[in-house]
Amino acid sequence: MLYGSAILVALCNYYHYHTQGYTTMMMGMRNVPNAMEDATTVLGGGVVRILRDVYLPAMRLTLISVAMFLFMRSMVTLSAVIFLVTPSLPLGAVTVMRLDEAGFTSQAAAFSTCIMGIVAIMAPLLHLLTAKR
């Protein structure tokens, strides 16, 4: 049911790279002062309120950075998804590999440049999202 779907590829990429994102998130959580969590608890806030009012604002930059990391790694991954793609679900990295194997090296290089361009465009977008207002 999931084979050949974008959901399976996204889940595969998430599972493949989640350890780095998890480690980054845990380090970000250590930077949130315990006093803020304690104050929210004393004022009657539950778990949802602590997450919404304490952790999410304090970890906004970390969340955006982890999402960007997962996006960039997923754009160029090949080992995790090579067996999950079908002709109806073309992926950039797999397309580059197939073009190169077929002898279309210049087209593969051009497609790789497009992928690098997309990832390079995301870096300034990350900067805009994380800039202080």
Q: What is the pTM assigned to this prediction?
A: 0.71
Q: Which residue has the higher pLDDT, 53 or 132?
A: 53
On whether residue 81 sits in a domain, the answer given is: yes
Which residues, 6+ apart, have CB-to-CB distance to 118 below 8 Å?
75
On whether residue 16 sits in a domain, the answer given is: yes
pLDDT at site 128:
84
On whether residue 1 sits in a domain, the answer given is: no
Q: Are 76 and 17 in contact (CB under 8 A)?
A: no
Three-point CA angle 79, 123, 96, nearest 5°: 35
On whether residue 45 sits in a domain, the answer given is: yes
At 33-77, the pLDDT tens digits run 778 778 877 878 777 888 888 888 888 888 888 888 888 888 878
Backbone angles phi, psi at 102, to 5 degrees: -80, -5
Structural domains of the chain, count = 1
- Give the whole-angstrom CA distance, residue 108 versus residue 112: 6
C-alpha separations of 55 from 7, 47, 74, 130 in Å: 28, 10, 26, 16
What's the whole-number average pLDDT of the chain? Answer: 84
